[in-house]
Structures are given as C-alpha cells and as structure tokens.
Amino acid sequence: MIILNCPFCGPRDHSEFDYGGDGSITYPSLDAPVEDWHAAVFLRDNICGVQTETWQHTQGCRMWLLVERDTMSHEVHSIRPAHPGHAAVLEGKV
C-alpha cells in the first residue's frame, strides 16, 4: 500500500499508478549494436535497497515518473517527472 506523491496530482494510492521498470537505464540509440540492446533490455540489477524506478500515473495525469524507492522497506525517497520539460513547468521555470 504505497502512496506516491505525484508531482502534478499530489499523494495518491499506488493502485492509480503502473510500475514501469528500471529507471536507471539509458536506452541505446536505435542503430546501436544488438549487444547494447541486449544489455539494456535483459541485464538488470536486482537491487536490495534504494533503486530508481519508472512509474506512470496511469489513472491520473498519465505522467511518467522517476521514483527512488527502497526495495526492502518500500520507503519512497523522491519522485520527479521523468521528462525534464514537465519538471521545469512544475517548478515554474517555464
């Protein structure tokens, strides 16, 4: 029963969100070699502790978020928009 504090919508039940995946991955360019894609898609760390994850507020504003979450305690350390443009708007910089 995690509550995620969506930067746009405020604190909401995790049932409004969908888990995406590993938020630390930088995906290779489309023409990168198969090895790079293999590493990005299949080789994942199984972190015991704080990890960065992507979540989407599917039943809310639909923003994709970067969430730092402790896999042992479910404690959420930070939430921010995945897209820097969204972040800039929410911080009033645009």
Residue with tokens 């994850």: 53
- If one counts every other C-beta atom within 10 angstroms of the C-beta of residue 85, the result is 10
CB of 21 to other proteins, least distance (A): 9
Residue 89, contacted partner among Zn ion, other proteins, none, CB below 5-8 A by kind? none
The reply on whether position 80 binds Zn ion by CB under 5 A is no
% helix, strand, coil for the chain, step of 5: 20, 35, 45
- Residues of the shown chain interacting with other proteins in the complex, contacts defined by CB under 8 A: 1-3, 18, 20, 23, 27-28, 30-34, 36-38, 40-42, 54, 56, 58, 62-64, 73-74, 81-86
